[in-house]
Amino acid sequence: MTIHKEGYTSIAITGIIFVVINLISFYFISGDMPVLSWIIFFATLGLLLFIISFFRVPTRQLTFNENQIISPADGKVVVIEEIVDDEYFKDRRIQVSVFMSPANVHQNRSGVAGEVVYNQYHKGKYLVAWDPKSSTENERHSVVIRNPKGEVLFKQIAGALAKRIVNYLQVGQKVAQNEEMGFIKFGSRVDILLPTDAKVNVKLNENVKGGVSVIATFA
């Protein structure tokens, strides 16, 4: 396991806060209220460990298959439905949405190999990530990757807690399957828009792993 580069600043700030708060607690509280001082220590330690855990990047045996769309994120499948995409395709697509809780790994990967043909950031609201309107109204970043089997849109969506979406891809860039696509901080969701003839391999409420679980198979 490693720590994602997006977490370096957050972990450093949290570490400094941990040290300062506990130094103050040790000098001014521990003598008269040792129990309170220990409560403060464990509470702040828990926060520090949570922040470190949030930015973890676990070592995994990744799945590679040119006929398959691999999950771009860890989380739970909360949507499987046919929709009309108004942003890029302008036609019907199968949408599969993966909700990431704060406890999930938040690194996002490219579910297919190919060329980036569309990359667009959209300002928006911060509705809870499981709200159906979050796909079109929340802050989000959409990327379309053109694969010989078809084009797939990956949409990183901010949630009520997520305030920063990071996307590393650029139009014209060639990406490998499971190559890092970006990162979303503190709870969010990723939508995958598939061709209507794709075979979906996951079920609602199924837990998936980024870079490992097969979301769908090209026709």
Catalytic residues, which ones?
Answer: 188
CA distance 200 to 192: 11
Q: Cα(first)–Cα(last) distance of the chain, in Å?
A: 35
Give the count of alpha carbons within 13 A of 165, CB side only.
Answer: 26
Tell me the torsion sign for CA atoms 14, 20, 26, 30: negative
Q: Are strands 150-158 and 188-194 parallel, antiparallel or unpaired?
A: antiparallel
Per the CB < 8 A criterion, the answer to whether 209 and 74 are in contact is: yes
3-class state of residue 186 by DSSP: coil
Burial of 68 (0-12, 13-18, 19+ CB in 10 A): buried
